[in-house]
């Protein structure tokens, strides 16, 4: 048996405990168990700040385009002889004020959806710190016929999550990465995204009516010079109205079926959907799907719904 003498022990009394590499000294295991959750929590908070910093940075151009176009088109509608301009001149300020407030609301919703956490998946240690023992027991295990999906970058990939190469993180209930908001649409911000689309569509339809009221077509160069910005605004409003309407209708349909754009387009490549006998294991009816999507104030354990559906008798 080899004994290690304390450092500095030359007969003057016991020195500090000597720790051999690979052999923990007294209290080492306890200290590690005590400080590991705190260190993981600090690391989790630091990683969340880094992810949100990545969401904030690198997208200033796209995030400046939406408010710039919104207020530019609004200004063009006020500067030309539209119904909005006539109501302002006559002192009827109710509709102009409501329209400006709707534009402001759409801009604020845009930044809320663009800058919020879409549902980034935490690392293994962060999940263990933030999840209590009861929650860990309630999460079911994957059966052998369903391959556990592990991410090569984030290590942990729960059901319905997908790694986004642009955000460089896995996102819970991943729908798609939207270049307009420069952020992923996931479990946390998908309801806000649909609300933003609805408000934006309302603004666009109203702006379409206002712009049309100011267009009196004449075949003259002078008329074109005076109405070029109104014509450009009308063209932009028409394009964005079509795009937003298609997006809103398609997302409402997907939400009513409790599926995502990624699952709808790539079902044949997703393991947990290929192995399932039902067409959509997460669909529990339109009413429950919509309520769970818009009214649930917590993250959902999709594994429980999946295995409950899979274990029901056919």
76 by Cβ neighbours in 10 Å (0-12 / 13-18 / 19+) ranks as buried
Q: What angle do CA 286, 292, 296 make, to 5 degrees?
A: 165
Between CA 143 and CA 32 the distance in angstroms is 33
62, 75, 175, 303 from 40: Cα distances, Å:
34, 50, 29, 25
Helix residue spans in 80-123 (DSSP H):
83-89, 94-115
In 3D, which of 129, 165, 137, 144 has the Cα closest to residue 41?
129
Q: Are 195 and 179 in contact (CB under 8 A)?
A: no
Residue numbers annotated as active site: 178
CA distances from 30 to 33, 34, 36, 42, 233 (A): 5, 6, 10, 19, 67
- Compute the half-sphere exposure of residue 225: CA atoms within 13 Å on the CB side of its CA: 3
CA angle (195 as vertex; 190, 196 as ends), nearest 5: 95
d(CA 195, CA 201): 10
Other Cβ atoms less than 10 A from the Cβ of 182: the count is 20
Give yes or no for a contact between 173 and 260, defined as CB atoms under 8 angstroms apart.
yes
């Amino acid at each position: 048996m080899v004994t290690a003498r304390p450092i500095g022990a030359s007969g003057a009394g016991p020195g500090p405990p000597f720790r051999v590499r690979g052999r923990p000294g007294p209290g080492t295991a306890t200290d590690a168990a005590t400080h590991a959750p705190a260190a993981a929590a600090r690391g989790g908070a630091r990683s969340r700040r880094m992810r949100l910093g990545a969401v904030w940075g690198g997208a200033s151009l796209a995030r400046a385009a939406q408010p710039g176009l919104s207020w530019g088109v609004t200004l063009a509608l006020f500067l030309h002889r539209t119904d909005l301009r006539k109501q302002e001149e006559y002192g009827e300020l109710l509709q102009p004020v409501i329209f400006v407030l709707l534009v402001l609301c759409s801009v604020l919703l845009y930044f809320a959806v663009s800058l919020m956490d879409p549902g980034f998946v935490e690392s293994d240690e962060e999940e263990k710190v933030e999840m209590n023992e009861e929650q860990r027991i309630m999460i079911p295990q994957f059966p052998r016929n369903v391959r556990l999906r592990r991410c090569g970058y984030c290590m942990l990939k729960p059901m319905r999550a997908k790694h986004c190469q642009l955000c460089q993180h896995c996102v819970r209930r991943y729908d798609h990465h939207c270049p307009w908001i420069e952020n992923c649409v996931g479990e946390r911000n998908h309801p806000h995204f649909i609300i933003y689309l609805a408000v934006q569509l309302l603004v666009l339809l109203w702006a379409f009516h206002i712009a049309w009221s100011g267009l009196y077509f004449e075949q003259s160069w002078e008329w074109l010079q005076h109405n070029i910005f109104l014509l450009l605004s009308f063209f932009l409003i028409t394009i964005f109205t079509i795009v937003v309407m298609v997006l809103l209708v398609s997302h409402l349909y997907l939400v009513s079926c409790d599926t995502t754009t990624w699952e709808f387009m790539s079902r044949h490549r997703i393991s947990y959907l290929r192995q399932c006998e039902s067409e959509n294991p997460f669909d529990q009816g339109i009413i429950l799907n919509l309520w769970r999507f818009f009214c649930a104030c917590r993250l959902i354990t999709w594994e429980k719904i999946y295995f409950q559906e899979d274990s029901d008798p056919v």
